[in-house]
Structure 1
Amino acid sequence: MRGPGPFPGIIEVPGIGGGLLEYKASLLASRGFATLALAYYNYEDLPKKMKEFRLEYFEEAVNYMLQHPQVKGPGIGLFGHSKGGDLVLSMASFLKGITATAVVNGSVANAGAALHYKDNTLLPIGYDIKNATYPKPGVADIRDVVYNPLEEANRKSLIPVGKADCKFLFIVGEDDRNWNSDFHAQTACQLLEAEGKEKPEVVYYPKAGHYIEPPYFPLCQISMHVFVGFPVVWGGEPKAHALAQVDSWQRIQAFFHKHLNQKHVLESKW
C-alpha cells in the first residue's frame, strides 16, 4: 500500500501446526494493513510442544501493535483460523485494545492446551476419539469427537466471549470436518447477545471445509493432524471451497477496513 501510514493494524494467529506462517499477514500487508504474524509455539525460543500458554504473551503482542508508530489506532484487529480462532477469541475476551476480530472455522472452547491469564485458566476442551468415524481406511473424521463446552462438566473450557467489546466476523465452512464450526459461531453469538452485545456477522459457505485459505490455495482434503497424531479429513468440495476462499477473503478485508479504517478501500479483486 502506498503512503507513509499509519495503517490499520492486525495480528494474525495461525492454527495448530505451530511455527511462523506469514503468508496471510503478508497478503493483508499488501492490502493496506500493518500486520503481525504471531507464532506461539515451535518457533525459536517459544515452547516446542503445545502444553500450556499464557495470554500475557499475546497481550505483549497487542501492546506492541498499539504502540507502534505505523499502526493506526485506537484499536487493532485480530484474525485467526482453527486453533488461532479460539486464541483470538480469548484475546478479544480478556485483553484491551481490540476493535475487530475475524474467526475462520474457530472454536468457542479453548482447545489443545490450557490457557492462563492472571488468575484465570481456561482448560482444554475434552474429546472422545471413539466418536470418530472412518470414511477411508486409516483416515478419520473427527468432527464429533469434541465435547460440548456448554455442558456443565466442560464449561471451564468455554471462552467468555460475552466479555469482548469489539466487532466480530465468523467465517463458517458447513462441511468443516475438524469440528462443528456452525455450533461454535452460533454459541459465540448467543454469549455476546446474552451480555447485550451486538450480534456478530456470520457467513456460511455450504460444501466448504475446514481450511478456508486465501484465494487459489489448493483444497486440503486429507492430512496428518498434528494434535491427534493421525490422518484426518478436513471437508470441502473443490469448486464450492474455492469460491468460498475468494468470497471470504474479500469479506475479511472489507470487515477490517470498515472497523479499523472507517472506510472500505480495496485496490484489487483480492
Structure 2
Amino acid sequence: MLRAVSRCAAAGLCSTPAVLSTHRPVCVSVSPQSGLADEELHVRVQGLSPGAPVTLRAVAADEQGCLFDSCAQYEADGSGCVDLRREGSLGGDYSGGLPMGLLWALSPCVMEAPYRRLQRSSVHEALRLEVLVHRGHSHPEALPGALLAKGRCERLFLAPGVRRIRLREGAVRGSLFLPPGEGPFPGVIDMFGDDGGLVEYRSSLLASRGFASLALPYFAFEDLPPAMTEFHLEYFEEAANFLTRHPKVGGSGVGVIGSGKGADLALSMITFLPQVIAAVSISGCCANTAAPLSYKDITIPALAYNMSRVKISQSAVFDVSEALDDPLDPANSQCLIPIEKAQGSFLFIVGEDDRNWKSSVYAKAAVSRLQESGKSTYNLISYPGAGHRIDPPCSPFCPVAVDRVLGVPILSGGELKAHCQAQEDSWQKIQDFLHTHLQ
C-alpha cells in the first residue's frame, strides 16, 4: 500500500507542493521535451547540495489509465548535479550507468494488474512521461521522501508530416504510413506475432525515419479471420503488390519485417513472392507455426505445440519455451520454410535468452540452410541476455506479459540492460539493412 500511495502522488494525483533546496531551487530537465519515441532521453537534475542523496522516479500512464513507474537512487556530484548520462544508479529498479534506465524499467504500479505492457495502440497520442526528484534514498516499495522537483516530456510516434492512411484495399487491411515529401520511399510491410489485431507503433516510427510502411494485420481485425486457423499467402501477396505499385514507393521491390509469428510469415513471403526482396526476422522460427500456410498448389503444415511441455512457476508464470515441436527433427521437415529458394536478403535478429521459443537456435538453422545452398545475402545478429520481445529502442523492458489468446502470463526472458541495449542496437541495424537493400 505504501508504494501505491507514493505512486499516486508521483503521478500528480496528490497536490504535493515542490520542496526547494535550502540554497537554490532544485530543477530537473528532461530533453527533448517533445521527441520521437525512439530517441534517447537526457535527464539532468541541478540545484542540489554536493553529495545529496535523491531518488528519481518516472511515471507514465497507458491509454486505459493504467499507471507505470520506475525509480532509481543517485547522489549529486560536487556541483550539486545528477546527470544520468554520467552518474550511475546506486539502487532501486536498476543499478549502474543506464541513462535510459528510468524509461526502460517502467512497469505496472503495485495497485495495477501485473504483467501489463506499456504499449501504444493509438500512435496519434503521445506517451507522456513525468520525472520526479525526491529527497533521500527510497526503495521501490517505500514511501518516497519530499518532492524536490518535477519535469515532463512527451514521446511521439509520428514525426511531423507523416501521413497515416487506413487501408481497405481488396482483401488487405491495415494502415499505410507515408513520410513527408514527394518520395519515392523504400517500402516495408510490418507484422507482429500471435496477439493479432492492428499494431502500428513500429510502422509509424519507420515512416518517421523515411520508410513507406504498411502495418499489416492478418487476423483478429475487422473482417479478417478471428483466429489463426489457416494462412493463405495470397493475402500477403496482395499487400506486397499494393505497396510495390504505390506511387510513393520506389525501388525494385519491398521489404518485410516481422516479429514472432510475423517473422516466419516474413520468411515465407521472401521465399515465394519475388516482389519481396528483403526480410527482417525478429525472434522468429525457421518453420511455419500456428496454422497451415498455403500458396497456389503448395501447403506447408504447421509445427505443432505440445502444451504438456509447458512449465508453470510458483508465481503462475507460464514457461512455453519447450512447447513448440523441434523444427530440426527430420520428422518435421515438411514444416520448414524453404528459404534456400529465396532470391532476396535476410536479417535475423534474436535474443539468446528468448524464453518464448528457441529463436537463436532457429536462426542458426536458417543460416545453415542458406549457407548449404550457396547463398551469402544474410546476416545474423544474436544478443546475449536479450529476450523475445525486441521492440524499437526506449520501449520498456517486459520479461513477462499476459498472452492475449491464452490469457495467462507468458515468460519472454531477457535481462533489463542487455535487452534494452539490444533494442537500441538492432533498430539502427534494421534501418541500415532496409535502406541498403531497398534503394
With normalisation by structure 1, the TM-score equals 0.93
Range with greater deviation from structure 2 (66-75 or 134-143): 134-143
Q: Quick one: distance in 2 between partners of 1:116 and 1:43?
A: 21
- 1:224 and 2:405 correspond: no
Aligned residue among 300, 321, 326 for 1:122: 300
- 1:54 and 2:245 correspond: no
Letter in structure 2 aligned against 1:250: Q
Q: Measure how far apart 1:228 and its partner are.
A: 4.7
Q: Partner of 1:243: helix, strand, or coil?
A: helix
Structure 2 equivalent of residue 8 of structure 1: 186
Q: Measure how far apart 1:226 and its partner are.
A: 3.8
Structure 1 equivalent of residue 338 of structure 2: 160
Is the 2:207–2:213 contact (alpha carbons within 8 Å) kept by the matching residues of 1?
yes
Bigger Rg, which one: 2
Aligned residue among 204, 216, 222 for 1:44: 222
Q: Which 5+ residue runs of structure 1 have no aligned equivalent? A: 262-270
Q: Measure how far apart 1:224 and its partner are.
A: 2.3
Q: Quick one: distance in 2 between partners of 1:153 and 1:228?
A: 28
Structure 2 equivalent of residue 197 of structure 1: 375
Alignment of 1:172-187 (within 5 A): 172-187=350-365
Range with greater deviation from structure 2 (93-102 or 51-60): 93-102
Bigger RCO (CA 8 Å, 6+ sep): 1
Alignment of 1:107-146 (within 5 A): 107-146=285-324
Q: Quick one: distance in 2 between partners of 1:136 and 1:207?
A: 23
Q: Quick one: distance in 2 between partners of 1:13 and 1:211?
A: 13
Structure 1 equivalent of residue 204 of structure 2: 26
Q: Quick one: distance in 2 between partners of 1:149 and 1:244?
A: 26
Q: Measure how far apart 1:199 and its partner are.
A: 5.4
- 1:95 and 2:273 correspond: yes
Q: Quick one: distance in 1 between partners of 2:416 and 2:323?
A: 25
Q: Measure how far apart 1:240 and its partner are.
A: 1.2
- 1:65 and 2:246 correspond: no
Q: Measure how far apart 1:220 and its partner are.
A: 1.5
Q: Quick one: distance in 2 between partners of 1:54 and 1:120?
A: 10
Q: Quick one: distance in 2 between partners of 1:192 and 1:226?
A: 34
Could you give the per-residue CA deviations for residues 24-73 of structure 1, whole angstroms, max 9, x where no partner exists? 01100011111101010111110111111100000000111111111112
Higher relative strand content = 2
Is the 2:344–2:377 contact (alpha carbons within 8 Å) kept by the matching residues of 1?
no
Q: Quick one: distance in 2 between partners of 1:46 and 1:129?
A: 27
Q: Quick one: distance in 1 between partners of 2:359 and 2:377?
A: 17
Q: Taking structure 1 as reference, are residues 199 and 69 closer, same or farther at Cα in structure 2, changes over 3 Å only?
A: closer
Q: Quick one: distance in 1 between partners of 2:254 and 2:358?
A: 28
Q: Quick one: distance in 1 between partners of 2:315 and 2:333?
A: 34
Letter in structure 2 aligned against 1:134: I
Q: Quick one: distance in 2 between partners of 1:37 and 1:195?
A: 32
Q: Quick one: distance in 2 between partners of 1:70 and 1:173?
A: 34
- 1:235 and 2:413 correspond: yes
Is the 1:193–1:199 contact (alpha carbons within 8 Å) kept by the matching residues of 2?
no
Q: Taking structure 1 as reference, are residues 226 and 114 closer, same or farther at Cα in structure 2, changes over 3 Å only?
A: farther
Is the 1:126–1:154 contact (alpha carbons within 8 Å) kept by the matching residues of 2?
no
Q: Taking structure 1 as reference, are residues 30 and 67 closer, same or farther at Cα in structure 2, changes over 3 Å only?
A: same
Range with greater deviation from structure 2 (78-87 or 116-125): 116-125
Q: Measure how far apart 1:147 and its partner are.
A: 1.2
Structure 2 equivalent of residue 268 of structure 1: none
Q: Quick one: distance in 1 between partners of 2:419 and 2:225?
A: 34
Q: Quick one: distance in 2 between partners of 1:225 and 1:109?
A: 21
Q: Partner of 2:274: helix, strand, or coil?
A: coil
What is the percent sequence identity of the aligned residues?
49
Letter in structure 2 aligned against 1:64: F
Could you give the per-residue CA deviations for residues 186-230 of structure 1, whole angstroms, max 9, x where no partner exists? 111112122221152111111111001011111111122345553
Q: Quick one: distance in 1 between partners of 2:377 and 2:321?
A: 26
Structure 1 equivalent of residue 263 of structure 2: 85
Q: Quick one: distance in 2 between partners of 1:73 and 1:200?
A: 20
Is the 1:112–1:227 contact (alpha carbons within 8 Å) kept by the matching residues of 2?
no
Q: Partner of 2:369: helix, strand, or coil?
A: helix
- 1:210 and 2:393 correspond: no
Could you give the per-residue CA deviations for residues 95-115 of structure 1, whole angstroms, max 9, x where no partner exists? 111221111100111111111
Letter in structure 1 aligned against 2:409: P
Q: Measure how far apart 1:2 and its partner are.
A: 5.0
Q: Which 5+ residue runs of structure 2 have no aligned equivalent? A: 1-178
With normalisation by structure 2, the TM-score equals 0.58
Task: Count matched residues.
Answer: 261
Letter in structure 1 aligned against 2:305: Y
Q: Quick one: distance in 2 between partners of 1:109 and 1:230?
A: 25
Q: Measure how far apart 1:137 and its partner are.
A: 3.2
Could you say what the CA RMSD is over the residues aligned between the two structures, in angstroms? 1.4
